[in-house]
Amino acid sequence: AQVSNISKQMIPKVEAYHKRKLSDKFFCVYLDATYLPLRRETFEREAVYIAIGIKPNGHKEVIDYCIAPSENIEVWTDMLQNMKSRGLKQVELFLSDGVVGMKTALARTYPKAHFQRCLVHVMRNICAKVRVDDREKIMNEFKQVHQQTNKEEAITVLHDFYTKWGKVYSHVIRELKDIEPDLLVFYNYPKQIRASIYSTNMIESFNNVIKRKAKPKAEFPTEQSLDAFIGIQAMSY
């Protein structure tokens, strides 16, 4: 009963959090979705869309989040437009995984923003499509792409990677070439911050906190209870 009362007190605070006015500028915004158990008609794991931003002064915050049955670009588009309508007018750099249509949605909502695809997600995708025996070698070689001194060196490393593995894994290399413009954007920024902006690791660490704290609950009985639970984590981030 006590837990239920606390949750009820949080609901108006969470609703106000979703409607609050946002800062007009963020240097960087990370976008990612994670899955948590929610009971609707049946027990399912549902997508929680999360946006975490870093302001020009270095302050970090969970800009917003929303819950939907699965991850799709329509929900991301609505979320981006909602962020803009609440005052977030300018973003220098967005980071996300390879969800289909994300770059187009960002270009419509924030046409001046740059886009960096998460290299950790790219690496996982490569590993899923190559032989088990080749995975460690390929992973170690691809890691070199984000460990260079400048963009020119990184391009050389990436193209050498194409040459070495192109015959064996032509489909993988073809996909990499298609997204090459989004792989090395982080090199346009000072080397002191590059380690923070070539992947969505920052948002994944937040996701892990949510999952760890949600573990004692087998499932959330309603969307409102899940919303309140995430809201507490987001506001205290």
Task: CATH number of the domain at 25, please.
Answer: 3.30.420.10
Q: Tell whether the torsion through CA atoms of 10, 68, 109 and 117 is positive or negative.
A: positive
Based on the domain organization, do 162 and 232 belong to the same domain? no
Based on the domain organization, do 128 and 38 belong to the same domain? no
0.75 exceeded by the pTM? yes
Based on the domain organization, do 103 and 208 belong to the same domain? yes
Q: Tell whether the torsion through CA atoms of 130, 132, 133 and 134 is positive or negative.
A: positive
Q: What is the pLDDT of residue 1?
A: 64
The residue type of 28 is C
Cα separation, 225 vs 6, whole angstroms: 11
Q: Which domain holds residue 166?
A: 119-191
Q: Which residue from 164, 163, 143, 170 is spatially nearest to 154, judged by alpha carbons? A: 143
Q: What is the pLDDT of residue 207?
A: 87
Based on the domain organization, do 5 and 60 belong to the same domain? yes
Based on the domain organization, do 96 and 14 belong to the same domain? yes
The residue type of 233 is Q
- Name the domain count of the chain: 2
Q: Output the six-digit token pair for 206.
A: 């937040």
Based on the domain organization, do 84 and 114 belong to the same domain? yes
Q: What is the pLDDT of residue 40?
A: 63
Based on the domain organization, do 92 and 154 belong to the same domain? no
Q: What is the pLDDT of residue 26?
A: 97
- Residues in the chain with pLDDT < 50? none
Q: What is the pLDDT of residues 86-96, one digit of tens each?
A: 999 999 999 99
Partnered with residue 45 across adjacent β-strands are 37
Based on the domain organization, do 125 and 141 belong to the same domain? yes
